[in-house]
A = this chain, B = another copy of it.
Amino acid sequence: MTRTSLKDWDCSVARTLDIIGDKWALMILRNAFFGTQKFSGFQSELGIAKNILSARLKHLVEHGILRRVAPQGGGHARYKLTSAGIELHTVLIALLQWGDRHIGHPDGPPVDIVDVKTGRRVAPMAVRSHSGETLTPFDMRFQPRRS
C-alpha cells in the first residue's frame, strides 16, 4: 500500500511532480523567491509544522533545487535556490497568473509582478512557437519520441 511514486515514469511532467508536486514544496519555493532563506522564516511565514518543513527542505536539497549553506564562521544555516531552483520561476508565475485570472480575489490580485526596469506588469505567460508566435493548446501536439 506504499504511496504511489511517479519517479519511474518516462515523462518529465510525472517525474517533476514527484519532486515538487505538493503544496508545501511549491509554497517553500514561492517564499524562497520572495527572499526567505532561514528555517524559521519559512516556518513562521507558511505556518508549516517543523518536522514537515525539515523533511521538505531536505528533499528539495537532495533534488538540487535548494542548497543548504552553513555561513562561514558558524551560524544558522540558510537555504538558497540553486540555478535549477531559480528556473522553476516559470512554474510559479504560471500558477500565479492562472490564479489571478480564475480565482475571485476580493480586491484584485494581491501582488503584481513587474519589470524592475520599467515598473510595468510582466506579460501573461504563453507557449510560443520557434518563431515566437503564441500557441494555444490546439496549435500544439504531444509527440512521443522513438528511441
Residues of chain A having any CB pair with chain B under 8 Å: 4, 6, 10-18, 21-23, 26-27, 30, 33-34, 47-48, 64, 84, 86-103, 105-118, 120-123, 125-132, 135-137, 139-145, 147
Contact = CB atoms under 8 A, between A and B. Distances in A.
B128 A122 contact: yes
5 contacts: A16-B102, A18-B23, A115-B139, A120-B129, A123-B127
A123 B115 contact: no
Nearest to A15: B103
Given A12-B103, A90-B94, A122 B129 contact: yes
A2 to B, nearest CB: 12
B4 A108 contact: no
A5 B56 CA distance: 17
B140 A122 contact: yes
- Looking at A86, A107, A115, which has the most chain B CB atoms within 10 Å of its CB? A115
Closest 9 CB pairs of A and B: A12-B99, A16-B99, A21-B23, A90-B94, A115-B129, A120-B130, A91-B94, A107-B147, A10-B110
B137 A13 contact: no
A21 B26 contact: yes
